[in-house]
Structure 1
Amino acid sequence: MSTFTQFTRLSNYLINGYKTVLHGRTSVIITPQICNYAKSAEERLGIEKPKRPLTPFFKFMAQMRPALLAKNPGITSKEAIVWSSKHWQELDAGTKAQMAKEYEKDLEDYRKIKEIYESSLTEEQKEEISRLKEEMAAAKEKRKLKAEYKELGRPKKPMSSYFLYIKSRNDIFQGKQLKEYQKKIREDWLKLPESEKLKYEKQAQQLMEKYRKDIEAWELKMISIGRTDLVKTKSVKVKKTASSKKKE
């Protein structure tokens, strides 16, 4: 049997199996496991919040996943989504219409449950949820900015003299627990002669001077491409403004 024939038979088996499952409708909200989502503020606080029902397509993916993984254990998330999208498009209109009706019913149930849930929250819980959501949003923005810095080649701040010393002493970590290692390295640093410390301080100073030049050049480049939102050094902004006026 050819690979294509096997794949076609698998597709038919999965879709027909899905139709069978679909006819025995359940109001249980299935959470798709294809992607891992970060916990919500409520989940982090141990508060059970009603989950919005899956749209027909995502419910289709969730229903198909067990059989799909059974036949393709090594399938990636991206491949699973591509497969699901293809077979969703091939699904007959009647099945899709039935799924849409079920989704509307699930959505109606969800709204009622959500209303009860929201009225049950205390003011303290609401404040805590709001605070945590703000923290999570800030953390997300920080991760986004960090990724953008990396993509745009922003120079990294160099290590301090102490961390340069730690880097030079990685050999003593072998066979030690982290706390034991940190304690040992700190004690050794404090006992280090001033002449030895000076070597690391001088190295750190040289690296910092290079970093300042590199970051200034990078920020000027960001200004030139219109990304002034990434520039933090005031002197760079002033320098760029002054040079622009001269050209005018």
Structure 2
Amino acid sequence: MAPFSLLSVGANVLARSFSLFSSTATVRWSCIAPTLKHFSTTVGGPPKRPLTAYLRYVKEQQSVVVQQNPDIKIVDIIRKIAQQWKTLTPEQKRPFEEATLIDREQYKVAMQKYQAQLTPEQTASIAEEKRQKRAKRKAIRKKRELNNLGKPKRLRTPFNIFMSEHFEEAKGSTVQAKMKSLLDDWKSLYISQKQVYVQLAEDDKVRYKNEMKAWEEHMVELGREDLVRRKERRSKKAKATKGGKKKSRVKVLKAKGPVTKKTAAQPTAKRLSQTTKK
């Protein structure tokens, strides 16, 4: 059985998905299951991924729980179903797992049929889209990990500081409009007015440098040298080897044998033999 912590995480994700709909409305599970991008140039879209055994159980039990608890919140519905799934025996879970296995086989056949009708350009486009999604997920996980490890906030530029101070009163109803308005206001400032934010940025640079130094030293103590900047790793490595003897690079040349009278006379003797034959 899955740990309850994992079920809780899944419950929160499903609850956010359910919040888009009424508690008594039919849930569109295709929104939860990840699918490939639909290309208008292809005949039909890609097949939908089959539901997992757990999602099948949630889909079946949702209406039952709602009928038994009309005033229950969506988050509590998912949490209650997750608890029920946790207490099921392997025999009780088997029908949902077997149905998932059957759907997976059908999905494989449908996916092969779908991929066969794609052009090379569309196949390459789908592969590139998958690569970008993987890179994005990796970057998100990396950022989350760094935040959990307490990495200092990035240093701010003069314009960043100006923008944070005047964002609320900036003109525009959207973020893009406000950004454009702030950028125009920044360009219209005098150099003396910008100097205030330049000085604040310099102070923030000192803050960032000190905090990063302390944080990277802590990461080294934790054995996470992979998170230390390359430049810092090189400098620390150079300090560690400072004072040691440098290895001399000696270029090894292949020694030539001494030139004897016999070897020196060989070309001349060869020419004389050729002249005699003529």
Distance across 2 between alignment mates of 1:54 and 1:164: 47
Partner of 1:186: 183
Aligned length: 209
Partner of 1:74: 73
Deviation at 1:37, TM superposition (A): 4.0
Q: How many percent identity over aligned positions?
A: 23
Counterpart amino acid of residue 209 in structure 2: R
Higher relative contact order (CA 8 A, sep 6+): 1
User: CA 1:194/1:103 → structure 2, altered by over 3 Å: closer, same or farther?
Assistant: closer
Check if 1:232 corresponds to 2:233: no
1:215 is aligned, of 196, 202, 212, to 212
Check if 1:64 corresponds to 2:61: yes
Distance across 2 between alignment mates of 1:104 and 1:171: 53
Partner of 1:142: 139
Q: CA RMSD in A?
A: 3.2
Deviation at 1:195, TM superposition (A): 1.4
Deviates more, 1:236-245 or 1:215-224: 236-245
Q: Which runs of 5+ in 2 are unaligned?
A: 1-26, 245-278
Distance across 1 between alignment mates of 2:220 and 2:214: 10
Tell me, what secondary structure is at the counterpart of 1:241? helix
Deviation at 1:127, TM superposition (A): 0.6
Distance across 2 between alignment mates of 1:98 and 1:180: 54
2:37 is aligned, of 27, 33, 43, to 43
Deviation at 1:57, TM superposition (A): 4.2
Counterpart amino acid of residue 73 in structure 2: G
Deviation at 1:39, TM superposition (A): 4.1
Bigger radius of gyration among the two: 2
Partner of 2:249: none
Query: Would you say the 8 A contact 1:216–1:233 is kept in 2?
Result: no
Deviation at 1:150, TM superposition (A): 0.6
User: CA 1:113/1:205 → structure 2, altered by over 3 Å: closer, same or farther?
Assistant: same
Partner of 1:5: none
Distance across 1 between alignment mates of 2:178 and 2:109: 56
Counterpart amino acid of residue 65 in structure 1: Q
Check if 1:117 corresponds to 2:124: no
Query: Would you say the 8 A contact 1:219–1:230 is kept in 2?
Result: yes
Deviation at 1:184, TM superposition (A): 3.6
Tell me, what secondary structure is at the counterpart of 2:156? coil
1:177 is aligned, of 173, 176, 180, to 173
Tell me, what secondary structure is at the counterpart of 2:37? helix
Distance across 2 between alignment mates of 1:215 and 1:60: 48
Counterpart amino acid of residue 83 in structure 2: V
2:50 is aligned, of 45, 48, 53, to 53
Query: Would you say the 8 A contact 1:32–1:59 is kept in 2?
Result: no
Deviation at 1:216, TM superposition (A): 2.1
Partner of 2:160: 163
Looking at secondary structure, tell me which structure has more helix per residue.
Answer: 1
User: CA 1:135/1:180 → structure 2, altered by over 3 Å: closer, same or farther?
Assistant: closer
Query: Would you say the 8 A contact 1:31–1:62 is kept in 2?
Result: no
Distance across 1 between alignment mates of 2:177 and 2:113: 52
Distance across 1 between alignment mates of 2:194 and 2:225: 39
Tell me, what secondary structure is at the counterpart of 1:43? coil
1:202 is aligned, of 196, 199, 203, to 199
Distance across 1 between alignment mates of 2:96 and 2:185: 68
Tell me, what secondary structure is at the counterpart of 1:212? helix
Tell me, what secondary structure is at the counterpart of 2:46? coil
